[in-house]
Amino acid sequence: MRRPLALLAAVLALASPTARAAEPLDLDLRKLGPPSAAIWAYTRCGAVCAPTAGELALAADARTRFAMLSSELALSLSSALLEPAATVGHSGFAFDLESAYTTVHKNVVGTTPPFPPAPGDYWPTRTKTPSGLLVPSFHVRKSFPYSLELGGRLLYLSQSSYFAAQIHGKWAIQEGYAAIPDVALLAAHTIFLGQKDLDLSSTDLTLMTSKRFGVNAVMSVTPYLALRYLLVRASSGPLGYAPATATPATVVAETAAFPSLSRSLYRTTLGARMTAFATTMAAELTWFGGSHSEASGDYANSGLQSSLGGAFKLGFEF
């Protein structure tokens, strides 16, 4: 009985405001709980023994919280699109300051209809459970012949110590005809940086269309619509759950990593860009309708609630 109580005390200590992280939204993945039932069993019996059904459920719940955390982080970091289907023109450049805000949740969604929220906060932060994530970014794009465009973003997760880097490429299948909307394919890859235990990346594939309208011969407005597929990949490094005074054997027995997760998500973005001379502004909304995934590998059925995101930019194109 003492060993489970010691594990509980260790988890509560990790959840305290005295954690080493410096910012309110800095993460400690150990707060999600051990992802291996063997750790729960070891704290109960002090040796290698078979996990009980309850211990298996506790480990599965920890993995589900990790899946929710990774999915909502990936959705937030890759939310902003803020560009139409057309490129910036032959040999053109674009430099943008952007900001995106995406709503997030804290409860795991049930896996049976009507998918009610269930207890289980999956934000293992230092001091704050967020209801939304603010992500400012700096965005650069460069156009090339044959309607090709390459770009990159440097993103910052507000109130945290974390950044992300994104590279993307766009091919405008059709652009420049006055009577026909522009159509483009866009691919982007985003990597989460700064959290030593979390390996998180996402790949975004987008089909988009837009149509430019001139206004008084001095500016233009370009509404755009995008259908987006996001593939999230996440895992963790080894996490230690043993107390600081534990023996080497206990440290080894109470160390585990969250296994690799791969998850597909779909969303829709609607926005508009305004251009006057070399100055551009854009605003958009992104809707994610939720997801109720089937069991896969080490992860059980899990649901992700719907979310709404907004983004704005101010930049220059020339």
Are 65 and 122 within 8 A, CB to CB?
Answer: yes
Query: What confidence tens digit (pLDDT) does each residue in 30-83 have?
Result: 988 899 988 888 888 877 788 888 888 888 888 988 999 999 999 999 999 999
Q: How confident is the model at residue 127 (pLDDT cuts 50, 70, 90)?
A: confident
* Mean pLDDT value of segment 297-309: 84
Residue 180: φ, ψ to 5°: -125, 135
- Per-domain residue ranges for the chain? 68-317
The whole-number pLDDT of residue 120 equals: 58
The whole-number pLDDT of residue 229 equals: 97
State the pTM of this model.
0.87
Helix (H/G/I), strand (E/B), else coil: 228? strand
Are 111 and 100 within 8 A, CB to CB?
Answer: no
The whole-number pLDDT of residue 14 equals: 43
Question: DSSP labels for 124-191?
Answer: -BSS---SEEEEEEEEEEEEETTTEEEEEEEEE-TTSS-EEEEEEEEEEEE---TTS-EEEEEEEEEE
From 16-20, 182-186, 246-250, 278-282, the region with the lowest mean pLDDT: 16-20
Which CATH entry fits the domain spanning 68-317: 3.40.50, 2.40.50, 2.60.40, 2.40.128? Answer: 2.40.128
| Percent of residues, the chain, with pLDDT higher than 90 | 58
The whole-number pLDDT of residue 294 equals: 63
Query: What confidence tens digit (pLDDT) does each residue in 11-20 have?
Result: 434 444 444 4
